[in-house]
Amino acid sequence: MEFIPRFFHDSGRSFFLFGARGTGKTTWLKHTLKQAVFIDLLEPAVFRAYSAAPERLRELVEAQKPGTTIVVDEIQKFPDLLDMVHLLLEERKNLRFILTGSSARKLKRSGVDLLAGRASVKTMHPFLASELGVGFSLEDALDVGMVPLVTQSVDARETIDAYVALYLREEVQMEGLVRNIGNFGRFLESISFSHGSVLNVSHVARECQVERKTAEGYLSVLEDLLLGFRIPVFTRRAKRHLASHPKFYYFDVGVFRSLRPKGPLDTPEEIHGAALEGLVAQHLQAWNGYGGETSQLFFWRTKTGSEVDFVVYGPNAFSAIEVKNSVRIHSKMLGGLNAFKEDYPEADLFFLYRGKDRLKKGNVLCLPVDEFLMNLNPHRPISGNFV
C-alpha cells in the first residue's frame, strides 16, 4: 500500500491502535517506526509460536536495545499475550509496545483489562479528504468510500465488495462472534436502510426476522468491529421536546453502498443523500479522533420534525451542520439550522451542499461539501468562517 501522510501521530508511549481492516494501521507503523520490532499474529507460524509459548516475548524483548518499540499486530488473535506484555511493561521502563487490532471485542470477552491504563487507546480511520489533497474526488468517495485498502486498489468497486465479504468470513464467522452468519448477513443489509437515519432497532429486527435482543447483539458486534457507530441526540439545555433514538452510520460510505440493497422503489437521490451525509459523518469522527477526542458528535431533532444532521460540541467548537445532496439552496432547507439558532444563539451554523459557491444566508455559512471536507483539519476547530 502506498504511504500517504496521515493526521494520526505517534504519542511516544505505549498504545493500542484499533481500526477496521484496511485503514492503514500497519502501513503507517512500518513507515513511521522503521526501527521497531514487528510481531504479526496473522502469520500462522508466528501465531503458533507465541500461543504455544508466550514467554518467547520475554526472550525477544531481552535481546533488544533500550528504547526499542515492539509492535504486535492483531493482538486480538491471542489475547493471553497481553499478560506478558503487562509484566514486561512493569519490569522494563525503557520499553514500549504498540498493539494493533481490528476489534477489542475478543479482548473484552477474555476479561483483558487493556493493560490497566498503561497504554492509551487510539483509532485509525479511513482517509480524510485533506489527507488525500489533490487526489481526493468527491464522486469516487461517494461511490467506493475512503478505506485506504480500497482507494489504492486497481479495481476499487470489486475490492469494496470483497472487503465486506472478508469481514463476514474472517472477523465474524471465524472468530465465532455470532451463531448464525446468515441472520447476521441479513442484519447488515437491513441496517443499511438506517444509515444516516434515526435508528429503530425493533424495526431492524423485524426486517431481518430476528428477536430485538439478537439485533441489539448484532449492532454491538458491528460497533466493536469498528464497522459502524451511533450518534446521540443533543439535549444540552433543551427547550423543546426532542427525539430519543440515536442515528446510525456505517464507518465508511463505501461499505454502506456495497451493503445497501437496491430495488425499483429506490430513488438515486435517496441513496446519494444518505451516502453524502455518511461521508461527512465519518470525516467528523476522524477529525475528532485525531484531534484528541476533545469534542462530541450529536444530531438534533425535535418531536415536531425540525432537524440538524450534526452538532459538534466541545471546549473549542459548538457548530450545527446540515448536509444536503443538492446544487441549490432553498430557504426551507435552512429551517432546522435557524430553529437550532433560536435555542442556541452561541452556535455556528453550516450548510453543506453540492453547489460551487460559498454563500452567507443570514446566520448560515453555506459551503460546497468538498470544500468543507478538504479544509477539515484535526488541529483547527469547526467555527467562524471555517477557512
* Per-residue pLDDT reduced to its tens digit, 1-49: 678 999 998 888 899 999 998 999 999 999 999 999 999 999 999 999 9
By the 8 A CB rule, do 368 and 358 touch?
yes
* Cα–Cα nearest to 140, from 125, 21, 132: 132
Last residue of a domain, one of 123, 148, 165: 123
1 found inside a domain: no
Structural domains in the chain (count)? 2
pLDDT of 137 > 70? The answer is: yes
Tens of pLDDT, residue by residue over 180-238, are: 888 998 999 999 999 999 999 999 999 999 999 999 999 998 998 899 999 999 999 98
Tens of pLDDT, residue by residue over 81-121, are: 988 998 898 888 888 999 998 877 767 665 455 666 667 88
Query: Domain range spanning residue 61?
Result: 15-123
* Cα–Cα nearest to 290, from 6, 96, 19, 25: 6
By the 8 A CB rule, do 100 and 14 touch?
no
* Cα–Cα nearest to 230, from 196, 254, 270: 196
CA 78 to chain centre: 24
Neighbour tally for 218: CB within 10 Å: 26
Neighbour tally for 100: CB within 10 Å: 24
Last residue of a domain, one of 123, 156, 182: 123
Q: Are residues 164 and 308 in the same domain?
A: yes
For residue 52, the domain's CATH number is 3.40.50.300
Last residue of a domain, one of 64, 96, 123: 123
309 Cβ contact partners less than 8 Å away, ≥ 6 residues apart: 277, 280, 299, 321, 322, 323
Query: Is the full-model pTM beyond 0.85?
Result: yes
pLDDT at residue 38, as a whole number: 96
Q: Are residues 46 and 169 in the same domain?
A: no
Alpha carbon distance 186, 182 (integer Å): 6
50 found inside a domain: yes
Q: Which three cell numbers stand for residue 6?
A: 496521515
Q: Are residues 343 and 311 in the same domain?
A: yes
Q: Are residues 115 and 205 in the same domain?
A: no
Q: How many CA atoms lie within 13 A of 41 on its CB side?
A: 22
